[in-house]
Amino acid sequence: MKKVMINDLAKQLASKTNLTQKRAKELINLTFELISDELINDNEVLISNFGKFKTTNVNREETVLKQAPYKIRASKTVSFSSAKKFNQYFRRINHEQKDSRS
């Protein structure tokens, strides 16, 4: 599996629009910045037909690390759940690709 970086996305976006690759990268970074800002403010970010980003609380835990008790403090983490339409699209494309390889 190949890793796709922001530069790769910017290159693809630029090739499909009238944007330069530099401007496309700026817009992608700005989009992620806006999503991050909303999550920091405890807002959910819903992108239609793609999915939802939200923060969830991770409770404080105690565990044993090398025979000594260790406390893991409570914190927040980001979760993403994909939209039903996105899942359907992904499965359809995935099946089409598998069929074309056979």
**Are 97 and 50 members of one domain?**
yes
**Are 36 and 50 members of one domain?**
no
Query: For the chain, what is the domain count?
Result: 2
**Are 93 and 69 members of one domain?**
yes
**Are 66 and 96 members of one domain?**
yes
Question: Where do the DSSP E strands lie in 1-102?
Answer: 45-47, 51-58, 61-65, 68-72, 75-82
**Are 16 and 55 members of one domain?**
no
CATH value at residue 77: 4.10.520.10
Q: What is the rounded distance in angstroms from the CA atom of residue 60 to the CA atom of residue 34?
A: 29
| Containing structural domain, residue 39 | 1-43
**Are 26 and 56 members of one domain?**
no
Residues in Cβ contact with 99 at an 8 Å cutoff, skipping those fewer than 6 apart: none
- Single-letter code of the amino acid located at 66: K
Tens-digit pLDDT string for the chain (102 aa): 899 999 999 999 999 999 999 999 999 999 999 999 999 999 999 999 999 999 998 887 776 667 777 777 878 999 999 999 999 998 998 888 877 776
**Are 19 and 49 members of one domain?**
no
Predicted confidence at residue 67, as pLDDT, reads 73
Measure the N-to-C terminal CA separation of the chain; round to a whole number of Å: 19
